[in-house]
Chain A
Amino acid sequence: MKTKKAPLTPEQRWKMTRRRFLIGTGSLGVLAVGGYFGINEGRPAMVDAIEKSGASRGGKMPAPNLWFELKPDNSMVFYAPKFEMGQGIHSALAQIAAEELEVDWKQLTVRQADSSKGFDPNIMFTGGSTSVQDLFTPLRTAAATMREMLRLEAAKQLSVGANEIVALRGECFARQDMSKKLSYGQIVAAKQTEWEIPKTAPNLKARKAFTSIGLNAPRVDVRAKLLGQAVYGYDARVPDMLYGAVARPPRYGATLKNASAGDASNQPGVKQVVIDLKANFAGVVADTRTRAREALKFLNLEWDGGTSMGQAEIEQLVTARDGIGVVIKKRGNTDANILTGTQVSGEYRTPFAAHAHLEPLNAMAHVQATKIELWVPTQSTSSDIRGVQDMVGGEKREIVVYPMQMGGSFGRKGAQSAALEAVRLSNAVGKPVHVGWTREEDIQHGFFRPPSHTKLRGSLSSDGRINALDQVTASGDILFSVIPIPEPIKNLIGFDFGVLSGLFSPYDIANYRVRSHRVKLPIPTGTWRGLGIFPNTFALESFMDEMAFAAKTDPLDFRLKHVPNTEDGTRLKRVLEDVKTRSDWATPPESGRARGVAFSSLGKTLVAQVAEVSIFENRIVVHRVTVSIDAGLVVNPANAALQAKGSVVMGLSSTLLEKLTVKDGMVEQANFKAYPLLTLKQTPPRIDVNFLEGGDTPYGMGEPAIGPIGAAVANAVFALTQKRIRDLPLEL
């Protein structure tokens, strides 16, 4: 029988944490403090699963995931375990650390941690809007511990009691005599004996005492980017490097039956042709990228098999029907109530989409006798490393991963196949090789946001309330494509965890059932910003409007009418009311325009949006989007607002334009001419974001605001035209 463990007392907890501190053995006169700090309990299980999937080769003592260095000249470096892809994470982490270190955040230089700094690459993962929420407490604890060590040492050096010492702006003062002071650097320089970790847990500041968290601190990475000095993955350069290009199959799943170098080896600049039939690999290494790509055309390749599937067949497979799917939520009795009162139904479809981060996939590798170095823009170094180990027997060699700046990612750079290609080519040629994908490769040979289809039925009772809601969703794989669970078990589970994002209606509905059906397609699909939240919210919140219309109620009031009487309900009500006020919902828009509202949540973050649209030359024009967000405590409001606005623009691009179609086993669109993205002129000049700050801890911000925009626009179009569009992208 299982017995429930008693929760740890704060003392026990500190004892455990304390053991995980590492004090630097670095160069002389430097205080280096690091450690492995646990993650929040509130962390989404799915992210855990991804991370754990790479953590199988861990040693005994966990390597650090946070690391500070303080030098005698009072300069301070923070090695950030999270990757920068434009979300401003290095700045946010610096602000959080500075708060408890009692330094000006400007005093901290933030560097990307890499495995050469003792970091275990297996723990480095950035995604799922988790960085700030996961590190908020561990980072403050580590910083506060370091501050305490400095304070205690200052007390000794100044010969006053520890309670007499105040740490402020990088200095320790004697409370009674402010002229008695030492900078952190001076304390470190004068230190003679071993550092000691405090016996008791350091106090963490209360929210009202924050001076750094909550500031719009400027981004730490932008200056170098403006000067052309920042090094993204595609910019990586080392002496003696060569360039690689790799042959692509004509259909997904096709295998190389025969391959030979043909005339490729004789092409100018070509150093080596690398063919590995078992790995379905044929590539060229040359002295320039262009020459490597050109030489590919001269390989003799015979591809075999693969899928010949087309769009119609895919849509037929990805169809939600009665009688399929696993029940993942059940409240009341839906079957007994769904055919009563006023009945409403609708089916919604979201197509394949590309990530289209502007920096295409790329990686550089240098395979050496005892070590393998990888320069890679990645959201998960563990997946790179696992692949490398499997490919070239990396266990015997040290693998050093340098995570690079990313030119966007949106879920795509979590499984970075370019890294493995670079390793394979470098292994063959014995020199560093950079593989940079073309846009065509990036669109056609990546993985996609899976197509999804949702069937909804609802019944309204005579008081205009929803009595029952029946929801069936069919979707291609999202997380199943990255979580290493055997196929039969996936089938047994029957639905992909990634579909859960934004899947459930937040409203008070007595009889509610949700079924989800996994469709394993022969087309590669996977994680895309917010996972299921974009397609799910489009369906659910469009349907909410359809029911409001049937109930002859204002769509925003209809939602308010269905707010549950719970703590979450109170938060939901607050964002809905805020968006109502700030979008001027009660005042009609100028003639020829209409507004639509939608809501979604991801983790604990809640987002409501109102879109104001018109139609011009038979095209939907979005003039204004009002966004109200409860993301808990916001560490850097300016950066968080950029995340929200960027999510709206990316979601709008999917709402109005983006659709990939498959023909004969291959995505038809290869570049932006056939797959255009939203442009500046199509972007509403007004996207207003308001944060409703709640609670003392931050929730995720990178993805949630992408949820509501599809439905908000579709609902506005309905309000304007009385025409309900149920397929994305919206076509009039």
Chain B
Amino acid sequence: MLKLEINQRSWDVPDFQADEMLVWVLRDTLGLTGTRFGCGVGVCGSCNVLINGVPTRSCQTPTADAVGKKIITLEGLAKGTGENIKLHPVQAAFLENPLQCCWCMSGHIMNAVALLEQNPNPNAPQIDSAMNENYCRCGGYNTIRKNVTRAAEIAGGRS
């Protein structure tokens, strides 16, 4: 068995999946379908997860490479459960201003979480650079721009 650490929990993955791309192990083997598949070639960014804090294309990451690292997926961002769930500031911003189909959303959220960790108050060009690598076919790019700024406000305790 391979041991993965995902969302601060340990998960077992059969050895034969060592070479398989992480996106399929997360989605199909472990049922963590919040991470999306869009292209499989590293372009669209729908599959982004945080590996040791860095937004990473899980469709380009063999599962074995993720062993021993800290993986965070969309499911791991909010704190608490049920009624008491507290959204991550980036999730809270996307709840205020949603995208459309939201298939791309997990990938954008991962980028934004990583950006705000590094830079709690990014300016417009910094946001554009950090968020440019992911597609949104529904065309929500301006919502994404706005939400990163909004998430920074929420995280900073400004309403």
Contact = CB atoms under 8 A, between A and B. Distances in A.
Interface of A: 85-88, 218-219, 221-223, 225-232, 234-235, 237, 243, 268-269, 288-290, 356-360, 405-408, 410, 436, 438-440, 642-643, 645-650, 671-673, 676-681, 683, 685, 687
A647 B105 CA distance: 18
Given A228-B32, A235-B27, A672-B135, A86 B100 contact: yes
Given A222-B95, A671-B39, A671-B43, A290 B24 contact: yes
Contact of B102 (A222, A234, A678): A222
26 contacts: A86-B101, A88-B100, A221-B102, A222-B94, A226-B95, A227-B75, A227-B91, A228-B34, A229-B34, A234-B27, A288-B24, A289-B28, A358-B36, A358-B38, A358-B44, A358-B46, A358-B101, A358-B103, A360-B38, A645-B139, A645-B140, A646-B138, A672-B41, A680-B136, A683-B139, A685-B145
A229 B82 CA distance: 12
A439 B41 contact: yes
A230 B35 CA distance: 11
A646 B100 contact: yes
A436 B59 CA distance: 15
A289 B24 contact: yes
Interface residues of B, number: 58
A232 B140 CA distance: 19
A438 B94 CA distance: 28
Contacts of A649: 136, 138-141
B101 A642 contact: no
B31 A237 contact: yes
B37 to A, nearest CB: 7
Contacts of A288: 17, 20, 24, 28-29
B77 to A, nearest CB: 8
A650 B33 CA distance: 26
B33 A672 contact: no
B28 A228 contact: no
B126 interface: no
Closest 10 CB pairs of A and B: A228-B34, A649-B139, A407-B103, A86-B101, A86-B100, A646-B139, A235-B33, A672-B43, A228-B74, A683-B141
A672 B41 CA distance: 8
A234 B24 CA distance: 11
Interface of B: 16-17, 20-21, 24, 27-29, 31-41, 43-44, 46, 73-75, 78, 85, 87, 91, 94-95, 98-106, 109, 124, 128, 131-145
Contact of A356 (B29, B85, B105, B137): B137
B138 A86 contact: yes
Given A219-B98, A408-B103, 20 more contacts: A86-B101, A86-B138, A218-B98, A222-B102, A289-B28, A357-B137, A358-B101, A359-B36, A407-B36, A407-B103, A410-B137, A436-B37, A439-B41, A642-B140, A642-B143, A650-B137, A679-B135, A680-B144, A681-B128, A685-B145
A436 B33 CA distance: 13
A680 B132 contact: yes
A659 B5 CA distance: 42
B16 A268 contact: yes
Contacts of A358: 36, 38, 44, 46, 101, 103-104, 135-137
Contacts of B133: 679
Which of B136, B137, B143 has its CB near the most chain A CB atoms (within 10 A)? B137
Nearest to B19: A290
B60 to A, nearest CB: 13
A672 B134 CA distance: 11
B78 A227 contact: yes
A133 B114 CA distance: 42
B98 A222 contact: yes
Contact of B33 (A237, A642, A645, A671): A237
Which of A406, A407, A436, A643 has its CB near the most chain B CB atoms (within 10 A)? A407
B132 A227 contact: no
A108 to B, nearest CB: 18
B110 to A, nearest CB: 12
B103 A232 contact: yes
Contacts of A648: 139
B75 A86 contact: no
